[in-house]
Amino acid sequence: MLEFYQNIPLHIDPVVLAISSFSIGWYAIMYLLAFVVVYFLLTYRIKKKEGEYSNDLILDFIMFALVGAFIGGRLGYVLLYNPIYYWHNLLAIISPYDFATGQFVGIYGMSYHGGLLGVIIATGILLRKNKFKIDFWQFADFVVPVIPAGYFFGRIGNFLNLELYGRVTENWLGMHFPLWAEAGSSLRFPSQLFEAFFEGVALFMILWSIRNKGKFAGHLFSVYLVGYGIARIVGEFFRQPDEQIGYIAKYFTLGQILSLLMILIGVGIYFWRKNKILKKVN
Q: Is residue 95 part of a domain?
A: no
Q: Is residue 127 part of a domain?
A: no
How far is it, in rounded angstroms, from Cα 31 to Cα 73?
Answer: 12
Q: How confident is the model at residue 182 (pLDDT cuts 50, 70, 90)?
A: low
Nearest residue to 149 (alpha-carbon basis) of 68, 52, 44: 44
Q: Is residue 83 part of a domain?
A: no
The answer to whether the beta carbons of residues 173 and 190 sit under 8 Å apart is: yes
Nearest residue to 117 (alpha-carbon basis) of 89, 77, 145, 59: 77
Q: Is residue 23 part of a domain?
A: yes
**Res. 147: pLDDT tops 90:** yes
> In this predicted model, which residue has the larger pLDDT, 246 or 91?
246
Q: How confident is the model at residue 245 (pLDDT cuts 50, 70, 90)?
A: confident
3-class state of residue 26 by DSSP: helix
- pLDDT value of position 84: 83
Q: pLDDT of 75-132, one tens digit each?
A: 999 998 888 878 877 777 777 666 555 566 566 678 999 999 999 999 999 998 766 6
Q: With left for phi above 0 and alpha for psi between -120 and 50, is residue 250 left, alpha or beta?
A: left
**Res. 272: pLDDT tops 60:** yes
- pLDDT value of position 20: 66
Q: Is residue 154 part of a domain?
A: yes
Burial 139-150 (b: 16+ CB within 10 A, else e): bbbbbbbbbbbb
**How many structural domains does the chain have?**
1
**Res. 33: pLDDT tops 90:** yes
Beta strands 22-25 and 97-98, pairing class: unpaired
Q: Is residue 115 part of a domain?
A: no
- pLDDT value of position 97: 60
Among the ranges given (84-98, 131-145, 210-224, 231-245), the one the predictor scored with the smallest mean pLDDT: 84-98
**Res. 199: pLDDT tops 80:** yes
pTM above 0.85, yes or no: yes
Instruction: Supply the mean pLDDT for the chain.
Output: 88
How far is it, in rounded angstroms, from Cα 227 to Cα 234?
Answer: 11
Q: With left for phi above 0 and alpha for psi between -120 and 50, is residue 158 left, alpha or beta?
A: alpha
The answer to whether the beta carbons of residues 30 and 153 sit under 8 Å apart is: yes
Q: Is residue 80 part of a domain?
A: no
- pLDDT value of position 21: 63
Q: Where are the beta strands (DSSP E) in 27-128?
A: 97-98, 103-104
Q: Is residue 112 part of a domain?
A: no
Domain that holds residue 232: 2-53+134-281
The residue type at 3: E
Length of the chain: 282
